[in-house]
Amino acid sequence: MARKKLTYILRPTLPRRAIVWFPQFVNQKSIDRFRGLHDPQAQALPPHLTLVFPFHSRLTLDQIAAHAQKVLRAWPCFPVVMHGFWSAQNEFIGIGTQVGTDALVEMHDRLYRGPLEEFLRPEFDYTPHITLAQATETDRYEALCTAAAVVTRESFRDVLRTVTIIRDNGDNDWVRERDLHLMW
């Protein structure tokens, strides 16, 4: 008896998106230089603060944007000062927030309500930061922490006016899909 050949229909993968803030610091070159040497994401994305971490979803860009815009209507533009050392999981090294932390945490929490609630990872505490380096080898972590001190001693200032929905086109090729503005 002949076997029937099975045909599989491959579905396209769901889009992978995130919501981030791209600050424009006057003294950003020190961040750019350090990230260029030590952050695998440096070529894919400029320095950014992630508010909603990458997630795969059937939600359309319009649905995500409508939800985020509804959340953002609660905020006027506000100053953010980045300064000080941040790290996570003995792997990621970055610069933390000094001013604007509470507003960023609240914005993050509210963005993860409603249609994005299922993507929240409660096992991680959210601390607003910009990643400067990733220690891909465990023996490099301490050296990167020491080297990052030069950047994390500086203060970086900007006003958060706009957040951006970004999409991964595959192979870590991130594109900006839509800017969303806070109240002026």
Tens digits of per-residue pLDDT, 94-130? 999 999 999 999 999 999 999 999 999 988 899 999 9
Domain boundaries, the chain: 16-181
Residue with tokens 């950047």: 151
Going by C-alpha positions, the residue among 132, 118, 136, 144 that lies closest to residue 53 is 118
Half-sphere exposure of 131 (CA within 13 A, CB side): 21
pLDDT for 7 beyond 80: no
Instruction: Identify the pLDDT of residue 2.
Output: 65
pLDDT value of position 129: 97
User: How many residues are given for the chain?
Assistant: 184
Assigned token pair, 152 = 């994390």
Token pair recorded at residue 173: 């090729």
Sheet with 92-99, edge to edge strand ranges: 129-134, 92-99, 78-88, 156-160
Find all residues with CB under 8 Å of 31, minimum gap 6, and list them: 25, 47, 95, 130, 132, 151, 156
Q: Which two tokens stand for residue 78?
A: 């506000």
pLDDT confidence of residue 52: 98
For the domain covering 16-181, report its CATH number: 3.90.1140.10
Residue 90, helix vs strand vs coil = coil
- For residue range 141-166, what is the model confidence (pLDDT) as tens digits? 999 999 999 999 999 999 999 999 99
DSSP of 12-37: PPPPEEEEEE----TTTHHHHHHHHH
Q: Is the pLDDT of residue 6 over 70?
A: no
| pTM of the predicted protein model | 0.91
Q: Is the pLDDT of residue 9 over 90?
A: no
Distance CA 47, CA 184 (A): 24
Half-sphere exposure at residue 101, Cβ-oriented, CA atoms within 13 angstroms: 12
* 139 three-state secondary structure: helix
Does residue 62 sit in helix, strand or coil? helix
The residue whose two tokens read 């933390």 is 96
